Chains A and B, each alone.
Chain A
């Protein structure tokens, strides 16, 4: 079988797909790509189904060698990346020769990116998904982050057509992001001042930000009757506030239940963009209605589906992101 060989694992490189629904009552979160829209876009760029397994790359990327000719695409935050000695363009498909080596270095303007390979990463499905669940130690490649010496199976090669991303993904700009929030998670457990602060203040992303939760620092949010609640079901995007008053936004590997009061839920349409934030970046919250959040999610999904277009007449390995691309008919 054709493989992708890992020569260096990077800071935290894992295999996700779009997640593992249906097992929350057993304590199993969905996991999956932290920005499902960027991951879907990367997959579409190489001709895969949106939910194919790919690589999620964090802060410093891996070094990889391709066991077969492949079409790859890197989407998400910008990383320094070199393919066989030449800079790798992002947000478009790139052809790799058999034996080709890709070195993805440091993130330049964000925290995470997604690397798709045509045919997908063909690790076995566990509970209906190929996503890594780090805490559970299953899924992805042996339930863990990639390390030097790993060999990942690749699926059958795709059509190899050149494609590019024609519209930008929703992401932070200059280290700043504003996301919509819904109120239903339990805001009655917080003071009026806390509720006002949540949308008036700017929060900074703490160094303790990972796939489980994005810890934020900023003005503390006070509870009316203590931080503890009878433990109840939680979801990605819920904003939990422990006793110290600083909020944590749950990510895709977040716990399925929690015993701290929650002040809001980040709208699903905006949740993926949190994956791009680096420690020190700034985050603001803006209130939205349930209807607005649903509409935004539908728009976001539709936008990804049409954002990728097949090109003709672009030079192989052209370095420019906005290389001429005539949509084929």
Chain B
């Protein structure tokens, strides 16, 4: 079944517009945003645009020094999404060492969910995730599909340094830290797979719309 989601645009900078989908259901909204991003990428002249999906939005910006031809964008007023559809992106599997030094928050997250560590791992590794968007730092994927029991607010005190490869959760999202950065997410485990390599094209391993599974190592 197809559903139509209304789309509203506003100018966010001199040569940038932000299109936001009027949808509170993030899984559906994210698929709508991916569909919108794909439609924009198919417009003539789109190679000169930066197209940045958010969880239910798409930011479109002209390259430095160029004017944004916004007409065809502003003319898009709604986006059609399959209600029970699945993302068509590439599927990736990440081997994860759960708990221990690489996952110092596993016990606390499990306790908050009223689960044993083993049950929390089974829950996290049992889900199929979709990359809603990539942001925060190079290659950092925001994954939707986290089981509700594992959803917790961010840590009160962010860590000044989260190791690269940390598999983490915060709010409705699961994620993986590609670089050692400051971070406030709960760390469940660690993966050795590189998520970002500036010598690769594209440099980010994951893209909006891709699917992700975690496999206990």
Given A255-B135, A257-B54, A265-B12, check contact A135 B140 (CB 8 Å).
Answer: no
Residues on B with C-beta less than 8 A from A299 are none
* Contact flags B180-212 to A (C-beta < 8 A → 1, else 0): 010000000000000010110011100110000
Flag if B64 contacts A233 (CB, 8 Å).
Answer: no
Which of B15, B134, B136 sits near A25, CB closer than 8 Å?
B134
Which of A233, A290, A301 sits near B59, CB closer than 8 Å?
A233
Q: In the bound complex, what is the Cα–Cα distance between A93 and B26 (angstroms)?
A: 55
Flag if A232 contacts B138 (CB, 8 Å).
Answer: no
Given A133-B138, A136-B138, check contact A28 B55 (CB 8 Å).
Answer: no
Q: Which residue of B lies closest to A23 (CB)?
A: B203
Q: In the bound complex, what is the Cα–Cα distance between A147 and B103 (angstroms)?
A: 33
Flag if A294 contacts B11 (CB, 8 Å).
Answer: no
Within 8 A of A (CB), among B35-70: 37, 50-59, 61, 63-65
Q: Which residue of B lies closest to A29 (CB)?
A: B138
Q: Which residue of B lies closest to A185 (CB)?
A: B12
The reply to whether the CB of A85 lies closer than 8 angstroms to some CB of chain B is: no
Flag if A19 contacts B64 (CB, 8 Å).
Answer: yes
Residues on B with C-beta less than 8 A from A24 are 50, 52, 59, 61
Q: Which residue of A lies closest to B20 (CB)?
A: A232
Q: In the bound complex, what is the Cα–Cα distance between A225 and B93 (angstroms)?
A: 38
Flag if A294 contacts B10 (CB, 8 Å).
Answer: no
The reply to whether the CB of A273 lies closer than 8 angstroms to some CB of chain B is: no
Flag if A21 contacts B64 (CB, 8 Å).
Answer: yes
Flag if A237 contacts B13 (CB, 8 Å).
Answer: yes
Q: In the bound complex, what is the Cα–Cα distance between A230 and B12 (angstroms)?
A: 16
The reply to whether the CB of B179 lies closer than 8 angstroms to some CB of chain A is: yes
Within 8 A of B (CB), among A137-189: 137-139, 182, 184-185
Which of B65, B179, B208 sits near A136, CB closer than 8 Å?
B179
Flag if A232 contacts B196 (CB, 8 Å).
Answer: no
Q: Which residue of B lies closest to A127 (CB)?
A: B198
* Contact flags A268-305 to B (C-beta < 8 A → 1, else 0): 10000000000000000000001001100100010000
Given A230-B26, A232-B20, check contact A27 B50 (CB 8 Å).
Answer: no
Flag if A126 contacts B198 (CB, 8 Å).
Answer: yes
Residues on B with C-beta less than 8 A from A27 are 134-140, 178, 196, 204
Tally of A-B Cβ pairs under 8 angstroms: 135
Which of A133, A137, A235, A301 sits near B12, CB closer than 8 Å?
A235
Q: In the bound complex, what is the Cα–Cα distance between A35 and B21 (angstroms)?
A: 34
Q: In the bound complex, what is the Cα–Cα distance between A145 and B60 (angstroms)?
A: 31
Flag if B14 contacts A294 (CB, 8 Å).
Answer: yes
What's the minimum C-beta distance from A194 to chain B, rounded to whole angstroms? 18
Flag if A184 contacts B54 (CB, 8 Å).
Answer: no
Given A136-B196, A182-B11, check contact A26 B56 (CB 8 Å).
Answer: no
Given A232-B18, A235-B13, A294-B14, check contact A28 B203 (CB 8 Å).
Answer: yes
Q: Which residue of A lies closest to B23 (CB)?
A: A230
Residues on B with C-beta less than 8 A from A30 are 64
Q: In the bound complex, what is the Cα–Cα distance between A136 and B178 (angstroms)?
A: 9
* Contact flags A117-142 to B (C-beta < 8 A → 1, else 0): 00000000011000001011111000
What's the minimum C-beta distance from A234 to chain B, rounded to whole angstroms? 8
Q: In the bound complex, what is the Cα–Cα distance between A51 and B59 (angstroms)?
A: 26
Which of A135, A138, A233, A267 sits near B14, CB closer than 8 Å?
A267
Which of B11, B18, B135 sits near A231, CB closer than 8 Å?
B135
Q: Which residue of A lies closest to B136 (CB)?
A: A255
Q: In the bound complex, what is the Cα–Cα distance between A268 and B65 (angstroms)?
A: 11
* Contact flags B2-34 to A (C-beta < 8 A → 1, else 0): 000000001111111010100000100100000
Flag if B142 contacts A235 (CB, 8 Å).
Answer: no
Q: In the bound complex, what is the Cα–Cα distance between A137 and B199 (angstroms)?
A: 12
Query: Ordered nearest first, which 4 A-B pairs have the shortest CB separation?
Result: A257-B135, A233-B59, A232-B54, A26-B204
Q: Besides A127-B203, A182-B11, A184-B11, 4 other CB < 8 A contacts?
A: A23-B204, A182-B14, A257-B136, A257-B142
17 CB-based A-B contacts, threshold 8 Å: A21-B50, A25-B207, A26-B204, A27-B134, A27-B136, A27-B204, A127-B203, A185-B12, A230-B55, A231-B54, A231-B142, A232-B59, A233-B18, A233-B52, A265-B12, A265-B13, A294-B14
